[in-house]
Structure formats: C-alpha cells, structure tokens
Amino acid sequence: MFFGQAAALGDKPFLWAKHDGTYQPVSWREVDRQVRALSRALRAQGIRPGDRVVIVSENRPEWAIADLAIMAAGAVSVPAYITNTVADHIYILENCGAKGLICSTEKLLRNALPAAIHSSHCEFVIALEGKGLAQECTIRFQGWNEALEAGEQMPDDVLEVAGRRTRDDLACLIYTSGTGGAPKGVMLSHRAIFCNLYSAYDLLQEFGLGDEVFLSFLPLSHSYEHTCGLFFPISIGAQIYYAEGADTLAANLQEARPTIMTAVPRLYEVLHGRIVAGVERAGGRKRDLFLKALALGRKRIEQPGSLSLGEKALNLLLDVLVRRKVGQRMGGRLKAFISGGAPLNYEVGIFFLALGVRLYQGYGQTEAAPVISCNRPRNIKIETVGPALKGVEVRLAPDGEILVRGELLMDGYWDDPDATEQTIIDGWLHTGDVGEMDADGYIRITDRKRDIIVISGGDNISPQRVEGFVTLQPEISQAMVYGDKRPYLVGLIVPAAEFVESYAKENNVAADLAALAGDKGFRAAIGAVLDRVNRDLSNLEKVRRFVIAAEAFTTDNQMMTPTLKIRRHTIRKEYQDTLDALYEGKAG
C-alpha cells in the first residue's frame, strides 16, 4: 500500500516536521527512497522475515520510515514508549526476542542502549544520534545515515521481498499493560490493520475525503496513533504533521491547519480548559456572546427542535461571531476531531459540539487493531461510542460484556497462550468492558469488568501493581488508586495500625484514624511515604495526591471480598466525592 501511494504521489509532501522553527516537508518519493535503503540495511544486519525490531523514538519522519522499512523486510516492528526505563526496555527486548533496535536521540539511547547490550537476543542498534555512546557498545552499532548509505549500495529488491508478505503475516507487536502489571505483546497482522483502514474509510468518507492533513500528537507507539495517525493517512494519500508537544499544540494547530485529528480525551480536556480560561480573561461582551453560543448550541443538540425563531436567528449570528473564531483556533479547516483511547467526559464533548467543532467519540482496544466503533457524522450521540464500524461484529454477553469479532482481532498475545485463550473465546474478543446498545446499535459503556485504569491520556495502568508498591511500605496497610478518565492517579490510603499508634503516642493525640485524617503532621508523614514509593514508579504510575480512609477495608463493611481482595466498586461508591475532590484542589 505504501509503495503504491509513493509511486502515485511522487514529489508531493508527505511527512512534516519542525526544523529551525518552521515545518519542512519530506516528499513521498524521499520517504520511499529511505524506506528502501533502510530495509536493505536491516537485512544486511541479519534481519529475516518474522524477526522483531524495536523502535524507540519520538514522533518524527524517521519513526514512520523505520516502521515501514522493518515491515518491508518481512520483519515485525515493536514500538516502545520513550518514557520506558532501562528495565522496561529489557523486558520488551527479552520477551519478544528482538534482534535489533532503532533509536532516535542520544537521550533516549541512554536507556535503550544498556537494555540492548543486556539482551540475550539483540544483535545491533541503529541510531540517529549518540555515536559517542557506541564506544561502550558490545553489539553492532550503526548510525542512521551510515545505514541508509550502506543500503543504497545494495540491489533494490525491496518490492520483491515485501511482495512475499501476506495479509495474515504479523505486522507489529504492540505492548499493552496486563492486570498483573507485566505488559503483554499484542500480535497484530497486516489483515487486522487493513480491516481498521477499510472501516475508517467507510466512516470518514461521510465527511467528504479529499486532500487531507493530519496532525499527529499521540505517541506512535500507541496502537491508536499507529493505525489512525500513520497507516490510515497513508491509505488515503494524506499529509502528516508531527506536533512538537502539548505545550505547543495550539501553535501547531495554527501551523498545520489539520483537516482530521485523532487524539485521547486528555487533549480535548486541555483545549477546553484553555478556551474557557481565555474567555474568562476576555470578560465583558466577548464572554457573554461565548456563553450564549454555548447555551444555544447545547440546547439545539440536547433538545432538538426546541429553539424558537428568535433563538435560531441569534444562533446563526453566533456562528459568525463566536463559532467561526473557535474554528480558526483549530486551524480553520477541521473536518473532525476523533476521540478514543479512553472515555470522553460528556461535558467536554458537548462543549465542543455546541461550539460547532465536530468531535466524535469512538472506542477500541489494542487487541482490535484498535478501533471497534465510532459515532457517525449524520447521527452523533456523544454520550456513546457509536455503532460498530463496517466489517466489525459486536454483541453483548449475558452479563453485558462487550464482545467483538472480525478480521481486526489480534492473533493473540506474544508467547502467552493462556492469556490469549482467556481473552478470545470461540472467535470473540472479550473486551472486559460492560455496556448496552440502543435501537440504532450505538454502544454506551457503563462499566469495566477488568481493573485496568485508563487515564484521560489513553494510557493503561495496572492498579494492582501500584497498590502493591504502596502497601509494601510498613506505614501503609491498604490502598486503592483511582484515576479512570482522569489525568493522573490519586490514592485512598489506610495507614498501618502500628504506625497510627506510634504517631499518636509520639504526638500525644488520639489513635483515631478518622481524626488523624485531618492532622497536618500525620498527613505529611504519609505523604513522605508516598514520595518514597513514587521514586520507584514510572511517571504515569505515580500517586500525585491522596486522602486517608476513615476506616480500614474489611469483609464486615463489604469493602473486601471473602478472599481478601478489595471491592473497588464498593469503595469508590463510598469515597467517590472525596476522590473527585482531589482533582479539584478541595482535598489531599
């Protein structure tokens, strides 16, 4: 697919990245040249069909080139997060038996290279930077340009080699968190990704596809961005701009002027916050007009046909005075914002729709390559994740669990047949999410069977792993972390009885947990314990704020099961307001 598009589009711009402060394009022809050269260089390093090669890089043209080159060699790309520690990289390299590693910057190489050297399988590293680090390297080290130059000298048989691959061959191996904390490698075939592309085309052609421009913001190591932010744009011959980061996103939107952007709810939360803050600063008439546009837009959506003639006329005027200006802040030609990777807050969704920004919520999992469903342009129900996409079957199990079937499903978890058998049963993916469907087939997710936390950035976190670190501390007896749909984790802490008694005796206060919850010194002591724990956790797993529980979790108060597992739903119900207050600065 890629080589066909490159042949057709030639010198047209394809990948855009910032150089010296301005976006510069790389053409389809140039990307094709580098993909062919790198693919031949990989085979010269010993890569054979089916071998795994890890990619450690921020979003940039070289990421896409590496991914395509690996696949063109018949091998399997293994994206890794740039936030991974040395231990994380070692786990992935060892688990999948990766034969090589491609890395971008020297900073990233400082964690990736020791892992590659430690690995019993990795034979070489190709890096854009950091040649000075190669002096300590006990495996083959090759610079990016050196690899391209070497590949250029070899016979160009890339199309022949790539042409031997079939739809059922493995394309990539994407690691996702498991309930026990150890990441699992999701095996996605070319067939699964093509199924997603076909389904996405069927959906997005309702917008009127033409010369599309994407702004790539999510990490390409995330399956959502890998499929929707790289391979879907390739499938329709679109241009891709790489965002610099969250801090520059507003400026990047103005520079790239995207027509389509896929992102997680956290992005929309940030944009929502910035727009509201800007309106509050402006005050006066601008604020009044904005709030009126918001109110009328919301009424039009939530109460169809309820606008009076006067309200309809005013609403049309507000399209010009308010909504057009909001659209300009998004670049001025946006056809669709698509939200996925985590649940979208209804208030955020209705905010954008009321302001005329077309925001569509979808749903998926890495195990489904990853998109399963999405709202349709002709019928948006933002409180739902839309109907199943074309080519995808969805049904509900007797307990309400969402089950999925189709060519989009993974081949299984790498080297984990037991987990695979528990997840795909009789050809149906058991998502672990509980939902309901309306008469139009629109899916509303109501609960989660599994305990994985999906924060608003779309990252999966195993609560048991974090809680395990917390309760290893002698001062803490029990803990529950919380953060689904939220930007970070917070914790509900039950201090150890011995620590409570010791503190009470030293400070001459009552050894009463409920009373100590408001004691500044006691809270500071627990905070110091969590600071100690956080040093051993990744940034995503850190417990940013906490509250002390009024009582221990027991079977008597129904907060523990007979097998002494915490009942998350029961605890959340009891402490919901307190936990939510942690995000509002009212507690913790």
Q: How many domains does the chain have?
A: 2
Q: Which of 330, 326, 208 is nearest to 257 (CA)?
A: 330
Residue where a domain stops, chosen among 121, 139, 165:
165
Residue recorded with tokens 């391209």: 148
Residue recorded with tokens 């221990």: 552
Q: Which residues contact 495 (CB under 8 A, 6 or more apart)?
A: 475, 476, 477, 513, 516, 522, 526, 548
**Using an 8 Å Cβ cutoff, are 261 and 215 in contact?**
yes
Say if residue 13 is preceded by a cis peptide, omega within 30 of 0: no
> What predicted TM-score, i.e. pTM, was given to this entire model?
0.83
Q: Which of 52, 291, 7 is nearest to 172 (CA)?
A: 52
Q: What is the per-residue pLDDT for 169?
A: 98
pLDDT digits (tens, 9 = 90+) for 438-452: 999 999 998 777 778
Give the distance from CA 109 to its chain's centroid: 23
Q: What is the CATH number of the domain that holds 111?
A: 3.40.50.980
Residue 468 lies in a domain: yes
Q: What whole-number distance in Å separates Cα of residue 83 and Cα of residue 175?
A: 14
Give the distance from CA 10 to its chain's centroid: 32
pLDDT digits (tens, 9 = 90+) for 273-307: 889 888 988 999 999 999 999 999 999 999 999 99
Residue where a domain stops, chosen among 118, 146, 165:
165
Residue 95 lies in a domain: yes
Residue where a domain stops, chosen among 165, 194, 216:
165
Residue 42 lies in a domain: yes
Residue 392 lies in a domain: no
Residue 89 lies in a domain: yes
Q: Which of helix, strand or coil describes residue 8?
A: helix
Q: What would the two tokens of residue 507 be?
A: 């400070």
Q: What is the CATH number of the domain that holds 498?
A: 3.30.300.30
Domain that holds residue 510: 462-583
Where do the H-state alpha helices sit in 283-424? 284-302, 309-318, 324-329, 346-354, 417-423
Q: What is the per-residue pLDDT for 92?
A: 96
**Using an 8 Å Cβ cutoff, are 62 and 89 in contact?**
no
Give the distance from CA 354 to its chain's centroid: 26
Residue 132 lies in a domain: yes
Q: What is the per-residue pLDDT for 564?
A: 65
Pairing between strand 393-396 and 401-405? antiparallel
Low-confidence ranges of the chain (pLDDT < 50): 178-180
Residue 481 lies in a domain: yes
Q: Which residues contact 72 (CB under 8 A, 6 or more apart)?
A: 3, 35, 36, 39, 158, 161, 162
Residue 450 lies in a domain: no
Q: What is the per-residue pLDDT for 136?
A: 72
Q: What is the per-residue pLDDT for 181?
A: 54
The backbone torsions φ and ψ at residue 183, rounded to the nearest 5 degrees and listed phi first, read -60, 150
**Using an 8 Å Cβ cutoff, are 583 and 526 in contact?**
no
DSSP 431: E
Torsion sign, CA atoms 553, 557, 562, 566: negative
Q: What is the per-residue pLDDT for 461?
A: 87
